[in-house]
Structure formats: C-alpha cells, structure tokens
Amino acid sequence: MNFDFIPFKLNTDLSCFKKLIRYISSDNGVELFKADEALRKPVLGIPVSTVNLYFFEGNLITVYIHLEENPENIELVNTTLEQSITRPGKALKPDLGNGYYWKAENSTLALLQDMVKRKLYLYFSLNDFSVL
C-alpha cells in the first residue's frame, strides 16, 4: 500500500524543515510544529488549510492535515483516497469517531471527520506512534 500522495515522509529529520515550521509546544518528548504556507500543498487536488507536524527525538512521527473540504463530503474524499490507494478504507470504530483508515506495514493513514469543528483531517502516522 502506497501513501506517496501525502507530501510528507515519516521519519524525516526535523532539520529538513528549517524555517518552514513554527514550534507550538512539547509534551512527553513529542514536539508539535505548525507548517508554514510553503508546506501546505493540496492532497490529491484537495486544498489544505493547516498542517501540524509531530516529532519525537527529532524525527517526524505524525502529521495532521486539515483539509479545506466540507465535512459532509467525507464520502467523496474517501472515494478519492481509495482510488489513489487502490484499496477500500476500513471504517473507524464508533468510539474513535467517523472516518476511514488504511494500515500499511509501517504507517497508518486515516480520514477523520470532526462535525463539532466542522473539519476533515488526514491523519498520517508511524504505526509505533499511531492512536488508531
């Protein structure tokens, strides 16, 4: 399974993002950075509003991509992802919320719907750090 359409590679060293990210906070050794506009590239033609990058011991472990898409369009976005991944997404368990996910050997990609904040997110994480 291939997630190459995500414009970030997990395990990338923090130094590769010089001057393109802004430090936000740190918790339990995990550092959160917000990506500058130069790193906010559309994903499969879907515009992106913000990107949060999480690093552990200087390596990228998780990416949250906030899509500029109406959360009611989750099925349309899911279809776009399935066509690129060439595999149907599995529905999240109800206690995790509404969305779909794909697990590869080392990483997990999920499409998450937040109706309270009215947002769609892509969650991309190393399996060792994944909350899914």
pLDDT tens digits, residue range 2-50? 899 999 999 999 999 989 999 999 999 999 999 999 999 999 999 999 9
Distance of alpha carbon 108 from alpha carbon 67, whole angstroms: 17
Binning pLDDT at 50, 70 and 90, where does residue 107 land?
very high
pLDDT of residue 93: 84
Distance of alpha carbon 60 from alpha carbon 45, whole angstroms: 24
pLDDT tens digits, residue range 53-99? 999 999 999 999 999 999 999 999 999 999 999 999 999 987 777 99
Binning pLDDT at 50, 70 and 90, where does residue 132 land?
confident
Please state, in angstroms and as integers, the Cα–Cα distance from residue 91 to each residue in 2, 58, 75, 96, following that order.
19, 32, 11, 10
Contacts by residues 127-130 (CB-CB < 8 Å, ≥ 24 positions apart): 127/103, 128/61, 129/54, 129/56, 129/61, 129/62, 130/62
Calculate mean pLDDT across residues 106-120: 94
Contacts by residues 17-25 (CB-CB < 8 Å, ≥ 24 positions apart): 17/53, 21/53, 24/52
Q: The pTM is what?
A: 0.94
pLDDT of residue 115: 85
Please state, in angstroms and as integers, the Cα–Cα distance from residue 128 to each residue in 2, 9, 75, following that order.
18, 15, 28
pLDDT of residue 120: 96
pLDDT of residue 95: 75
Distance of alpha carbon 6 from alpha carbon 122, whole angstroms: 9
